[in-house]
Amino acid sequence: MTPIRISLSVLLFTVLACPLLRSQHLPSAKLSEAEVEEIRENGVFPDMRIKSYTKFVEQRAMHIKSLSGRPKSAQRVLQLDSSLQDLTALMDELGSNLDQYSDRHADLRKSLKELSEASPRWVNILRSLPGESGFDVSRKEAIESGEELADQANRLLKEQTEYFATHKEEKGQERGDPALETKPQ
């Protein structure tokens, strides 16, 4: 192979591989130490963990709403873009937790009800945010993530309501992460 063909092959591989590599390294939510500790402590209590995530998403949505009222500036655009990316990552983490706990048939109906009521409010905040070129992509991704989370919460609430209607003996069971649960001695 000639050096030109090798260079073109490497360039082609790089161009094709970059999007794949980026998609594997999705940003994770920026949680404070106290938030991380709360999530960790609630690891064995799925309902409480979902409530914690719901609370954290609510706080970030309200922060975004407060930023939207500020005068337009480059700093505001940067803060909104960063906050929207963080909100999206947090909603995605919450969705992943819902997937994990629903597979175990953990009784999440209380937290799912709260989530189902809150998620449309978050999506409305995001939709009412005027699009600007500096954060428009992040805004659209956050809206998509919020809509997916709302759909997932509503679907799971319906599924769990039906499941626990026929499996009454399993109502209220936490079924947290077995790796986090402590074994009695």
Domain boundaries, the chain: 44-170
CA distances from 50 to 62, 102, 120, 178 (A): 18, 11, 16, 17
CA distance readout (Å), 172 to 101, 112, 183: 13, 13, 20
For tokens 């940003």, the residue is 27
**Residue 9 clears pLDDT 70, i.e. is over it:** no
- For every residue of 126-167, DSSP letters joined together read HHHSPP-TTTHHHHHHHHHHHHHHHHHHHHHHHHHHHHHHH-
CB neighbour burial string for 166-181, b if at least 16 within 10 angstroms, e if fewer? eeeeeeeebbbbeeee
Helices H / strands E in the chain, number of each: 6, 0
The whole-number pLDDT of residue 13 equals 47
Structure-token match 């809150």, residue found: 118
Global pTM reads 0.75
Per-residue model confidence as pLDDT tens digits over 11-29:
444 434 433 333 333 456 7
Residue 3's pLDDT band (cuts 50, 70, 90): low
- DSSP letter assigned to residue 42: G
Tell me the average pLDDT across 92-106: 88
Residue 91 in tokens: 């909603």
State the DSSP H helix or E strand holding residue 111, giving kind and residue range, or none if neither. Answer: helix 109-128
- Who wins on pLDDT, 51 or 21? 51
